[in-house]
Amino acid sequence: MDRKVRVLIGKPGLDGHDRGAKYIARALRDAGMEVIYTGIRQTPEAIANASIQEDVDFVGLSLLSGAHNHLFPEVARILKEKGGSDIILFGGGVIPEEDIPGLKEVGFKAIFTPGTAATEVVDFIEREIKAR
């Protein structure tokens, strides 16, 4: 890839806790990626629109409120509608193990749970870019 990898980090819904999202955003930036952080309490539409406008390679969603089974698929659906089906999706936060298969079914390549080292997220993105 002849340009920096572009990653949008989004916080959909009413979840106001952004420490994990900021931690990952910093780690990705430190790894040489271009990171767009949309801030807290974003709608799925706003996240999808920003992802298309910013021409990102990845969208990472962070959620601790328990609404991931609704909000994550909604972002994936809107992205596909708007022509962003080539954007690789990943998520993180307090997500029960039993919910992960369903999120992967709607298009999320990886789900990271609390305690995941930032290097795992960086490695995931680097592997996905090489696979393209």
- In angstroms, the CA 60 to CA 79 distance is 13
Asked if residue 99 is part of any domain, the answer here is yes
Tokens of 75: 């972002």
Domain that holds residue 106: 6-131
pLDDT digit string, tens, across residues 5-48: 999 999 999 988 899 999 999 999 999 999 999 999 999 999 99
Asked if residue 83 is part of any domain, the answer here is yes
pLDDT digit string, tens, across residues 111-129: 999 999 999 999 999 999 9
Tokens of 112: 């990271």
- Residue 85 belongs to domain with CATH number: 3.40.50.280
Asked if residue 1 is part of any domain, the answer here is no
Total domains present in the chain: 1
pLDDT digit string, tens, across residues 64-99: 999 999 999 999 999 999 999 999 999 999 999 999
Q: What per-residue confidence (pLDDT) applies to 51?
A: 98
Q: What are the Cα distances from residue 66, in Å, to 83, 86, 96, 102, 132?
A: 28, 27, 9, 14, 32
